[in-house]
A and B are shown apart, each in its own frame.
Chain A
Amino acid sequence: MAHIDVAVTGVGYSKHVSKRRDVNIAELVWEAVSNCYEDAGLKPKDIDAVVTGNMPAFEGVNMPELWGAGHWGAYHKPLIRITTGGTTGGSVAHAAYYAVASGLYDTVLAIAFEKQSDGNSTMGLNTVALADAAAQFQQGVDPGFLASFGGGAVGIAVYQAASYMKRSGCTTHHLDKVSALCRNNAALNPWSHLKQPGLTPEDVAKTVLMQYPIRFGHVCPATDGACAMILTTHEKALKLQNKPAYILSCASCSDEAALMGISGSGTTNMDPCAQEHCKLAAKWAYELAGIKDPRREIDVAEPYAPFAHQMLMFYERLLLCEEGEAPAILDSGSMNLDGELPVCPSGGVISTNAIGASAMERITEVALQIMGKAGERQVKKEVHKGVAHGWGGAVNLNVVAVLSDTPRRS
C-alpha cells in the first residue's frame, strides 16, 4: 500500500477554562490556530487543506467552520468538518493524516475545539440520543423514566465502571489515585483546565458521590478550548523541524451500543467495559505501525479518560498489559511521569475536556513528548513511540493513533 510518511510539524492550544466569555468561537479557535502557525513556522498560504471538527450541538451553533474559515486561514482551500462525538478530535486528526498519507495534499491543518459555555452540552447530548429515544417514547417508555437511567456521558460511564471494577479487581481507591495522578500532572501543563497540585487520593474520596461508583472528583470538567495541529510530509517536515514526530498509523473501530440497542432492542454488547473494538483498533494500529510488542515498544500513553476508571480500562484495552493488571501497574508507580510507561502526562481528559478537541489533544500531547517539547510535563524517560486514543459515547467508536520519532519506512 502506497503510504507517504506523515509528520506533525506544529501544535497549538488556546487557553482552556470553563467559560471563555472574552472571545467567541472563531476567536477562541484562532488562538490555537495562530499558536500552531507560529510553532510550525508556517503561514495560511502554506496550507493545502483544512480539516476541522467539534460537536455543534454542544454550542448550539451549526456549521461553525463557515463562520471560522476566515479566522483560520481556510479561504480558497479544501475544507471539511467532522463530528464523531467524543472521538471528534481523533477523527479530525485521522482525516488530516489520510489526506497527507494518500499523497492528495502535502500540508494539512487539523483543528478541533469545543466552547461548551456557549450552549448546553447536556441538551446537545439529548439531541444525539433523540432518534432512538423518540422511537422508545412511542412504544410506551416514559421520558422521565428513560432519563432516570442516567443522563449524558456520566450515565454511560458508571455502568462501565461497575463492570470494570468487578472484572479487574479495581477498587474505589484506585479511582481516587487516578484522579490524583492526572490532576497533579495537569498542574504542570500550562494549557490544562483543572490544575490541582498536591491533590491526594484521600481528597478525591471526600468528594460527593454522583452515581455509584463515580464521585465528583472522578469526572472531567466542562471546558472551553481549542487545539490545532499541522501535518506534512517527511521531506517538508525536515526543512521546518530538527525533530518532528511522525504519525505511524491510525485505526478506528465501531461497535454496537453498550447499554441499549436501537429503538429499545437489546444489545449483545453486554459488558460495557469489554471495549472489544478498542482492542481491535489498537491491534490494527500497532500492526500498521510495525509494532509487535506494544508493552515493550510504547513509551508513553494518552488514553481518552474523562472518568477515572477509563484510564485503567483503556490502558488494558490498548493492549499495554493483560486484562485486570492495570490497577496493580498504577500501584507500582509505572504510570507516573517518572515511571516505565507514563500515562496521561498532560493531565488527561479528566483534567481538561473541551469535548471535540480532547481526542486530538491526546495525539498532540504524544507528539510533544516525542519532540521533547512538553516542558514541565515532559516524562523522564526517553520517548520514541507513543499511543493516543479516543472514545466516543454510547455508540462506542474507538480511535487509536501510533506516533514515533522515526518515520515508518526508515
Chain B
Amino acid sequence: MAEMEYKKETRSVEGSWPMEHWSWKFESIALISKTREAFKEKKLLGLKCPGCGLVYFPPKPYCRCMSEPDEWVEVKQQGTITTYTFTGAWAYEGIKEEEGPAGEPLIIVGVNFDGSDTLTVCTLGEAKPEEVFVGMRVQLKWPENIEGRLDDIAHVVPLRE
C-alpha cells in the first residue's frame, strides 16, 4: 500500500484494520483449503459444475450458472496465457522512484490451466517481456518448499515441449 501522503494544508489521522482478526466462515475458504492441501502432493484440484460443466480452479462454491460445483477434478499443470502485462518505469504515484526500475521488469500473466475454465494470475519467469504473447504455453513452477499456500501456484515458466 502506498504510504500516506501528508499534505501541508490538511491533517492526517493514523489508522489500521486488524485483518488478522477477521474470521471467514463461508464455503469458498473451506474449498480452497482442500485445494491448498493437495498442492503438497503437487496436484491441482478444481471443482466442476454439475449444471454447465465449467471447472473452477481454484474452486468456487457457486457457478456463474447459479448451480453449486461439487465434483473434484484434477487440473493439468500446463496452461495458456490469456493476457499479460509487465512493469514499466516506476514513474507514477504510489511507487517510489528508488524501488525501481532496478532489475528485470516483472511479467504478470493471466493463465488458463488445461482442464479448467478459469483465469488465474501468475508471474512468468525465465522469459523476457518481448517474448510474451497471448496464447503462449506455460507450465507451473512449484516453489522449493511447498507449504500449501495459495501462492504456491503463482509462478509459471514457458512450456518446453
Contact = CB atoms under 8 A, between A and B. Distances in A.
Contacts of B29: 135, 138-139, 263
A140 B89 contact: no
B118 A267 contact: yes
A163 B83 contact: yes
Contact of A140 (B36, B64, B119): B36
For this complex, into which size category does the number of interface residues on chain A fall? Answer: 35 or more
B86 A261 contact: no
Interface string B5-41: 1000110000001011010101011011100100000
Interface string A195-226: 00000000000001111110110000000000
A273 B119 CA distance: 13
Interface stretch (A42-50, A147-155, A313-321, A322-330): A147-155
A213 to B, nearest CB: 8
Contacts of B108: 148-150
A260 B134 contact: no
Contacts of A149: 108, 121
B149 A259 contact: no
Interface residues of B, number: 60
Contact of B134 (A118, A166, A263): A166
A242 interface: no
Contact of B150 (A134, A136, A154, A161): A136
B19 A137 contact: yes
Interface stretch (A29-37, A63-71, A120-128, A366-374): A120-128
B2 A123 contact: yes
A256 B2 CA distance: 27
B98 interface: no
A159 interface: yes
B2 A259 contact: no
A268 interface: yes
B151 A210 contact: no
A302 to B, nearest CB: 26
Q: Is the interface of B mostly helix, strand, loop or mixed?
A: loop
B78 interface: no
Contacts of A21: 9
A266 B118 contact: yes
Contacts of B119: 258-259, 266-271
B134 A163 contact: yes
Contacts of A265: 28, 31-32, 56, 58-60, 118
A172 to B, nearest CB: 12
Given A122-B93, A163-B110, A265-B56, 16 more contacts: A122-B1, A139-B149, A140-B152, A143-B1, A149-B121, A162-B83, A208-B91, A211-B85, A215-B88, A258-B119, A259-B119, A259-B121, A263-B32, A264-B32, A265-B59, A268-B119
Interface of B: 1-2, 4-5, 9-10, 17, 19-20, 22, 24, 26, 28-29, 31-33, 36, 46, 54, 56-60, 64, 82-89, 91-94, 106, 108, 110, 112, 116-121, 123, 129, 133-135, 147-152, 154
For the complex of A and B, the 9 pairs showing the least CB-CB separation, nearest first, are: A140-B149, A266-B118, A209-B88, A265-B60, A158-B85, A166-B134, A163-B83, A134-B19, A159-B83
Interface of A: 21, 118, 120, 122-123, 126, 130, 134-143, 145, 147-152, 154, 158-163, 166, 208-213, 215-216, 256, 258-273
19 contacts: A120-B4, A123-B1, A135-B24, A138-B24, A139-B32, A159-B83, A159-B110, A163-B134, A211-B85, A211-B86, A211-B87, A212-B86, A261-B58, A265-B31, A265-B32, A265-B118, A266-B58, A268-B56, A269-B119
